[in-house]
Amino acid sequence: MSTQLTTLKDKKGLIRDHVYENLKKNIMELKLEPGRLISEKELVEMLQVSRTPIREALVKLSQDELIETTPQKGSVISLIDMQHAEEARFLRETMESAIVREACVKLSSEQVLHLQNLIALQELCESEENYERLFELDEEFHRSIIVGCGRTRTWGLIQQVTTHYNRIRFLRLATNHDWKIILSQHRGIVQAIKDKNPDAAEQVLRDHLERVVIEKEELKHKYPGYFK
């Protein structure tokens, strides 16, 4: 294949990936809200690209369960499915509970320091009420524990199944700026890892992930149009 053709192929791939990541971010952050009808024309104007990468991105988003496409309606941002969210939470809790016990043995002092630095950045987000950055740092906190234990593929699996669950988490951060319990639980997890106390680490981790169970009904009542 010539250099020109390779460059063209790479450029197409980059455009497609950019469109996909852009739309996924907007859906996950509820800027494209659940239930909203979107057209290819609207997306072409929004992203200033041709229809081809838009269509390819919509196919991938459909596979992620973030878009539903029907011949009658076109493309609609999928409603948050509580059953899928709960299944994802269960999977994440089951996996992370086992991994956080490993973390008490496997994580180095440098890795623990990194977790503490992430919490410090989360505290800054709390003072600035920056929920978008807080969500990113929350994800990085959990990723650092899982990948730090050598479970990179496990983190990849979690990412594949938590789209509905993560939208609930983001909605919670966006609508309720009382984040002290989240930060307190993160500190508790790190302290238990530092103390090499797997029972305490697992208990705090379970309490942390089960907060979605407590809060999801409140969110559903407040935003009934967002949920199935």
For the entire predicted model, the pTM comes to 0.85
Q: Residues 102-134: pLDDT tens digits?
A: 999 999 999 999 999 999 999 999 999 999 999
pLDDT over 50 at 208, yes or no: yes
Strand partners, 77: 67
Per-residue pLDDT averaged across 1-10, rounded?
41
Q: Model confidence at 11, in pLDDT bands (50, 70, 90)?
A: low
3-class secondary-structure state, position 37? strand
Rounded to whole angstroms, how far apart are CA atoms 86 and 225? 19
Q: Model confidence at 182, in pLDDT bands (50, 70, 90)?
A: very high
Q: Model confidence at 47, in pLDDT bands (50, 70, 90)?
A: confident
Report which of 206, 85, 212, 102 is spatially closest to residue 147, judged by C-alpha positions: 102
Q: Residues 57-78: pLDDT tens digits?
A: 999 999 988 999 877 777 999 9
Give the CA distances from residue 69 to residues 39, 52, 123, 135, in Å, rounded to whole numbers and listed in that order: 10, 16, 40, 28
Helix locations, the chain, DSSP H: 3-28, 40-47, 51-63, 82-106, 109-128, 131-148, 152-161, 163-175, 180-194, 198-209, 211-222
Give the CA distances from residue 42 to residues 29, 54, 117, 135, 208, in Å, rounded to whole numbers and listed in that order: 19, 10, 41, 28, 39
Per-residue pLDDT averaged across 196-219, rounded?
90
Give the CA distances from residue 49 to residues 22, 54, 76, 197, in Å, rounded to whole numbers and listed in that order: 12, 8, 20, 52
pLDDT over 80 at 174, yes or no: yes
- Predicted pLDDT at 150: 97
- Predicted pLDDT at 108: 97
* Strand pairing category for 37-38 and 74-77: antiparallel
- Predicted pLDDT at 9: 43
Q: Which residues contact 46 (CB under 8 A, 6 or more apart)?
A: none
Mean pLDDT for all residues in the chain: 90
